[in-house]
Amino acid sequence: MYRMRNVHNNLPDAGCSQAGIKPAPPRIDKLCAIRNLQRETLRFEEQLKLLYGICLNEGMALCSLSQAGVLSSGELGELLDLTPSNTSKVLASLEQKGLIARALGSQDKRRMYFSLTDRGRTLLSKINDCEKIAFNG
């Protein structure tokens, strides 16, 4: 008699549980990797807050501004995948800390553009040079 085999664990489809053979658990390597990455990211953010007083979204905003030079709030929100409300909160916090500056658009006076201040560049440099805050992922 021919039995179809399960392609996932190479055990026969029928008769496994009756024979006392348990099928192999599904592979969860990807989920475990994502879990580990999430844990490491949370640990990284805790250290970022403790050592430098900024959250991860603020750090990513500084990094994005460092690479782009100048961005509108909409552009930054798209880069960071943040809602307009969260983008505004991040920008307000960074501006209050003196890490970014805002300027009116030259062509469209309704648009605001953001860039790093010297203080923001210095902070990014300190974070990049710090060995206390390592990402082990």
Task: Put the strands of the sheet holding 100-104 in their side by side order.
Answer: 71-72, 112-116, 100-104
Instruction: Give the other-Cβ count within 10 Å of 124's Cβ.
Output: 18
Least confident of 14-18, 58-62, 129-133: 14-18
How do the domains of the chain map onto residue ranges? 29-129
pLDDT at 131 (0 to 100): 65
pLDDT of 102 above 60: yes
More confident residue, 90 or 22: 90
More confident residue, 17 or 21: 21
Give the residues across from 103 on adjacent strands. 113
For residues 69-88, give the mean pLDDT.
95
CATH number of the 29-129 domain? 1.10.10.10
**Phi–psi pair at 72, nearest 5 degrees:** -80, 165
Measured between alpha carbons, how far is 73 from 6 in angstroms, rounded to an integer? 52
Identify the CA nearest to 116 among candidates 80, 69, 84, 79: 69
pLDDT of 8 above 60: no
Tens-place pLDDT, residues 56-72: 999 999 999 999 999 99
